[in-house]
Structure 1
Amino acid sequence: MKVVSFKEKIRAALRWKMALAAIGVFLLYDVNQSVANTPWTPLSSSPQDSSYVLPMRQYLSIRAYNIIKTTDLQVRNRDVGQPLIFRPNNGLGIGLGFTYKILALDLGFVIPASMRYRGDNPTTKFDLLSTLYGKKHVFDLTLQYYEGYDLANANTVFDGNPPQSALSMRSDISSIDLALSYLYVLNHDQFSFQASFLGDVIQRKSAGSVTLHGFAGLYGLSADSALVRHEFGNGLDRQAHITQVANLSTGTGIGYAHTFVLPRNFFITLSGAPLLMLNATLAEVNHPEFDDIEDTRFNMRLFTRNAVGYNAKRFYLIFNLIYDNFLVRAGEETRIDYAPLKMKLFFGYRIGKDL
Structure 2
Amino acid sequence: MCKATLTYLLLFSALSLYAQEEDFSFLETRPVNDKFIVDYSDKLSVKLFGSLKSNTIAHVNHETEDKLEYKPNESLNLGFGVGYRWFGLDVAFNFRGVNNDNDQFGKTKRFDFQSSIYTRKFAGDLTIQKYKGYYLDNPEDYIPNFDPEGPYPIRPDISTRRYGASLLYVFNHGKFSFRSAFIYNERQIKSTGSFLAGPFFSYFRMDADSSLIISEAESEFDLSQDFRGSEYIRYGLAGGYGYNLVLGHRVFISLSLVIGLGPEIKKSQALNGVPADTEAKFTGRVATRIAMGYNAPKFYCGFSAAGVFAGERDETEDYLERSVSNAKIFVGKRFNPPKFLTKKKN
The bucket for the TM-score relative to the shorter chain is: 0.7 to 0.9
Residue 222 of structure 1 aligns to which amino acid in structure 2? D
Give the alignment's Cα RMSD to 1 decimal.
2.9
Conserved? CA contact 1:199–1:316, under 8 Å? yes
Runs of 4+ residues deviating >6 angstroms: none
Which one of 83, 90, 94 corresponds to residue 110 of structure 1? 94
Conserved? CA contact 1:96–1:106, under 8 Å? yes
Distance 1:286 1:313 in 2: 59
SS in 1 for 2:179: helix
- Give the corresponding residue for 1:82: 66
2:28 matches 1:43? no
Residue 285 of structure 2 aligns to which amino acid in structure 1? R
Unaligned runs of 5+ in 1: 1-24, 31-38
Aligned length: 316
The correspondence of residues 1-355 of structure 1 with structure 2, limited to 5 A, is 42-44=24-26, 45=28, 46-115=30-99, 117-119=101-103, 122-161=107-146, 167-229=152-214, 231-232=215-216, 234-238=218-222, 241-263=226-248, 265-284=250-269, 286-288=271-273, 294-329=278-313, 332-352=316-336
Q: CA deviation at 1:210?
A: 0.3
Distance 1:152 1:94 in 2: 24
Q: What is the TM-score with the length of structure 1 in the denominator?
A: 0.81
Residue 84 of structure 1 aligns to which amino acid in structure 2? L
Q: Deviations over 1:274-319 (max 9, x none)?
A: 221311112347434x666643111111111111110000100121
Residue 211 of structure 2 aligns to which amino acid in structure 1? A
SS in 1 for 2:332: strand
Q: What is the TM-score with the length of structure 2 in the denominator?
A: 0.83
Conserved? CA contact 1:91–1:111, under 8 Å? no
Residue 192 of structure 2 aligns to which amino acid in structure 1? A
Q: CA deviation at 1:222?
A: 0.4
Conserved? CA contact 2:231–2:268, under 8 Å? yes
Conserved? CA contact 1:77–1:335, under 8 Å? yes
Q: Deviations over 1:251-285 (max 9, x none)?
A: 21210001011015101111101221311112347
Conserved? CA contact 1:86–1:149, under 8 Å? yes
Identify if the C-alpha distance between structure 1 residues 286 and 228 changes in structure 2 by more than 3 Å, giving closer, same or farther. Answer: farther
Q: CA deviation at 1:143?
A: 0.5
Unaligned runs of 5+ in 2: 7-16, 338-346
Distance 2:84 2:39 in 1: 11
Calculate percent identity across the aligned residue pairs: 26
Distance 1:59 1:105 in 2: 15
Residue 318 of structure 2 aligns to which amino acid in structure 1? T
Q: CA deviation at 1:236?
A: 4.2
